Chain A
Amino acid sequence: MPLTSEFLPYQSGRNVAGPAKVSARGVNVFYGDKQALKAVDLDIGTNEVTALIGPSGCGKSTFLRCLNRMNDLIEGARVTGTITLDRQDIYDRALDVVQLRARVGMVFQKPNPFPKSIYDNVAYGPRIHGLAQTAAEFDEIVEGSLQRAGLFDEVKDRLDEPGTGLSGGQQQRLCIARAIAVSPEVILMDEPCSALDPIATAKVEELIDELRENFTIVIVTHSMQQAARVSQRTAFFHLGELVEVGDTEQIFTNPRHKLTQGYITGRFG
Chain B
Amino acid sequence: MQFVTLLASLSLLSVVLYRMGRGRAIRSVGGNAATLHSLPSYYGYYVALWCGVPAVMLIAVWLAGEPFLLKSLVLDGLPSEAGGLPAARLSLLVNEVRQLAASGDYRFASGDVARAAAEHYRELRSISFAAMSVAALALAIACGVHALRRVSPSLRARNRVEGAVQVFLITSSTIAIFTTIGIVLSLVFESLRFFRLVPITDFIFGLDWSPQMAMRQEQVGASGAFGAVPLFAGTLLISVIAMAVAVPVGLLSAIYMAEYADRRFRAVAKPLLEVLAGIPTVVYGFFAVVTVAPFLRQLGETAGLTIASESALATGIVMGVMIIPFISSLSDDVICAVPESLRHGSYGLGATRSETIKQVVIPAALPGIVGGVLLAVSRAIGETMIVVMAAGLSAHLTANPFASVTTVTVQIVSLLVGDQEFDSPKTLSAFALGLVLFVVTLGLNVVALSVVRKYREKYD
Pairing of A with B: yes
Q: Contact partner of B364 among A75, A106, A115, A125, CB < 8 A?
A: A115
Chain A 78-120, CB-CB to B under 8 Å as 1, else 0, gives: 0000000000000000000011111001101010111110000
Contact residues in B for A101 (Cβ distance below 8 Å): 347-350
Is the CB–CB distance between B345 and A112 below 8 Å?
yes
Is the CB–CB distance between B346 and A114 below 8 Å?
yes
Is the CB–CB distance between A125 and B344 below 8 Å?
no
Is the CB–CB distance between B342 and A114 below 8 Å?
yes
Is the CB–CB distance between B344 and A112 below 8 Å?
yes
Is the CB–CB distance between A115 and B363 below 8 Å?
yes
Chain B 330-354, CB-CB to A under 8 Å as 1, else 0, gives: 0000000001011111111111100
Contact residues in B for A106 (Cβ distance below 8 Å): 344-345, 348-349
Chain B residues 268-292 with CB under 8 Å of chain A are none
Nearest-Cβ distance from residue B298 to partner chain A, whole angstroms: 47
Contact residues in A for B346 (Cβ distance below 8 Å): 114, 124
The distance in angstroms between the C-alpha atoms of A101 and B343, with both chains bound, is: 14
Chain B 439-460, CB-CB to A under 8 Å as 1, else 0, gives: 0000000000000000000100
The distance in angstroms between the C-alpha atoms of A136 and B346, with both chains bound, is: 24
Nearest-Cβ distance from residue B114 to partner chain A, whole angstroms: 76
Contact residues in A for B350 (Cβ distance below 8 Å): 98-102, 125, 128-129, 182
Is the CB–CB distance between A179 and B355 below 8 Å?
no
The distance in angstroms between the C-alpha atoms of A101 and B344, with both chains bound, is: 11
Which chain B residue lies CB-closest to A181?
B349
Q: Chain B contact residues: over half helix, strand or loop, or mixed? A: helix
Q: Does chain A have a CB within 8 A of B174?
A: no
Contact residues in A for B341 (Cβ distance below 8 Å): 108, 110, 112
Is the CB–CB distance between B345 and A114 below 8 Å?
yes
Nearest-Cβ distance from residue A186 to partner chain B, whole angstroms: 12
Which chain B residue lies CB-closest to A175?
B345
Contact residues in B for A108 (Cβ distance below 8 Å): 341, 344-345, 348
Q: Does chain A have a CB within 8 A of B124?
A: no
Nearest-Cβ distance from residue B267 to partner chain A, whole angstroms: 14
Is the CB–CB distance between B352 and A112 below 8 Å?
no
Chain B residues 35-84 with CB under 8 Å of chain A are none
Q: Does chain A have a CB within 8 A of B403?
A: no
Q: Does chain A have a CB within 8 A of B414?
A: no
The distance in angstroms between the C-alpha atoms of A75 and B263, with both chains bound, is: 10
Contact residues in B for A179 (Cβ distance below 8 Å): 348-349
Which chain B residue lies CB-closest to A114?
B360
The distance in angstroms between the C-alpha atoms of A106 and B458, with both chains bound, is: 24
Which chain A residue lies CB-closest to B367?
A115
Nearest-Cβ distance from residue B344 to partner chain A, whole angstroms: 6
Nearest-Cβ distance from residue A97 to partner chain B, whole angstroms: 8
Chain A 123-162, CB-CB to B under 8 Å as 1, else 0, gives: 0110011000000000000000000000000000000000
Chain B residues 68-114 with CB under 8 Å of chain A are none
Contact residues in B for A175 (Cβ distance below 8 Å): 345
The distance in angstroms between the C-alpha atoms of A124 and B358, with both chains bound, is: 12
Given contact pairs A70-B344, A115-B363, A128-B355, A105 touches B339 in the complex (Cβ within 8 A): no
Contact residues in A for B180 (Cβ distance below 8 Å): none
Contact residues in A for B359 (Cβ distance below 8 Å): 114, 124, 128
The distance in angstroms between the C-alpha atoms of A100 and B348, with both chains bound, is: 10
Contact residues in A for B351 (Cβ distance below 8 Å): 98, 124-125, 128
Is the CB–CB distance between B458 and A115 below 8 Å?
yes
Nearest-Cβ distance from residue B148 to partner chain A, whole angstroms: 59
Which chain A residue lies CB-closest to B262?
A75
Contact residues in B for A115 (Cβ distance below 8 Å): 342, 363-364, 458
Is the CB–CB distance between B363 and A68 below 8 Å?
no
Q: Does chain B have a CB within 8 A of A173?
A: no
Q: Does chain B have a CB within 8 A of A73?
A: yes
Which chain B residue lies CB-closest to A126?
B349
Which chain B residue lies CB-closest to A106?
B348
Contact residues in B for A129 (Cβ distance below 8 Å): 350
Is the CB–CB distance between A70 and B347 below 8 Å?
yes
Q: Does chain B have a CB within 8 A of A60?
A: no
Nearest-Cβ distance from residue A41 to partner chain B, whole angstroms: 25
Q: Does chain B have a CB within 8 A of A178?
A: yes
Which chain B residue lies CB-closest to A127?
B359
The distance in angstroms between the C-alpha atoms of A128 and B359, with both chains bound, is: 10
The distance in angstroms between the C-alpha atoms of A102 and B351, with both chains bound, is: 8
Is the CB–CB distance between A112 and B339 below 8 Å?
yes
The distance in angstroms between the C-alpha atoms of A100 and B341, with both chains bound, is: 19
Contact residues in B for A125 (Cβ distance below 8 Å): 349-351
The distance in angstroms between the C-alpha atoms of A138 and B231, with both chains bound, is: 52
Nearest-Cβ distance from residue A57 to partner chain B, whole angstroms: 20
The distance in angstroms between the C-alpha atoms of A182 and B359, with both chains bound, is: 17
Is the CB–CB distance between A105 and B364 below 8 Å?
no
Given contact pairs A108-B341, A110-B341, A128-B355, A116 touches B348 in the complex (Cβ within 8 A): no
Given contact pairs A70-B344, A115-B363, A178 touches B339 in the complex (Cβ within 8 A): no
Given contact pairs A112-B342, A128-B359, A182 touches B349 in the complex (Cβ within 8 A): yes
Is the CB–CB distance between B344 and A73 below 8 Å?
yes
The distance in angstroms between the C-alpha atoms of A129 and B352, with both chains bound, is: 10
Chain B residues 307-343 with CB under 8 Å of chain A are 339, 341-343
Is the CB–CB distance between B348 and A105 below 8 Å?
yes
The distance in angstroms between the C-alpha atoms of A110 and B18, with both chains bound, is: 55
The distance in angstroms between the C-alpha atoms of A178 and B347, with both chains bound, is: 12
The distance in angstroms between the C-alpha atoms of A124 and B347, with both chains bound, is: 11
Contact residues in B for A114 (Cβ distance below 8 Å): 342, 345-346, 359-360, 363-364
Some 9 contacts from A to B, beta carbons below 8 A apart, are A70-B348, A73-B344, A73-B347, A100-B350, A101-B349, A112-B344, A124-B349, A128-B351, A175-B345
Those 7 A-B pairs whose CB atoms lie nearest each other, nearest first:
A106-B348, A102-B350, A101-B350, A112-B341, A125-B349, A112-B345, A115-B364
B contact residues vs A (CB 8 Å cutoff): 263, 339, 341-352, 355, 359-360, 363-364, 458
**With A102-B349, A106-B344, A112-B344 already in contact, 10 other A-B pairs whose C-beta atoms are closer than 8 Å:** A98-B352, A106-B349, A110-B341, A112-B341, A112-B342, A124-B349, A124-B351, A164-B458, A179-B348, A182-B349
